[in-house]
Amino acid sequence: MPLIDGGLHTEVCPAGCTSDHSSDARGAFLEDLVHLLGGEASMTVGVEDGVEGMVQLPVLRAQIQVEPYSPDARTRVPHVVLEPSAGEVVSGLGPVELAAVIARVRAHCDRLDEVLAQLVAARTELLPSCDASEPGAWLSDSK
Ligand SMILES: [Zn+2]
């Protein structure tokens, strides 16, 4: 690959690299070279967008990658780039840091289970006594 700051470089991808290096082949800085390892783990959550209606936004997207010439030593070895929500990125997560994130997500899912149980209880208690098709009906009926 031609280097933007001069010269040519021949890079051998690590086993399992899934990067499309076509843009690198047109010229790049060596420190920007990224090898992706394996596929991306991601899920989406539907969110309401005022313009487009319901849109699916990725959350907790994770990708293992290595940037062998990065100035950041954490990213010169295989690491995870985590995108907790669209457009927000945390780079350089090693196994200990990723395990901590996973533990927090699991704990949050436990909390979401509690919210779910509270929601079911609230609906069971409040909805039978009102016509939910009327705006604000359950508020006035629940007093
Ligand atoms: Zn590669």
pLDDT in tens, 105-114: 999 999 999 9
Q: How far is the CA of 85 from the centre of ligand 1 (A)?
A: 26
In the reported structure, the alpha carbon of residue 111 is separated from the centroid of ligand 1 by a whole-number distance in angstroms of: 40
CA of 2 to the centre of ligand 1 (A): 15
> pLDDT by residue (tens digit) across 58-106?
899 999 999 999 999 999 999 999 999 888 999 999 999 999 999 999 9
Q: Please, which pLDDT band fits residue 143 given cuts at 50, 70 and 90? A: very low
Q: What is the pTM of this model?
A: 0.75
How many residues are recorded in the chain? 143
CA atoms within 13 A on the CB side of 66: 14
For 37-42, what is the mean pLDDT? 92
With tokens 């016509």, the residue in question is 131
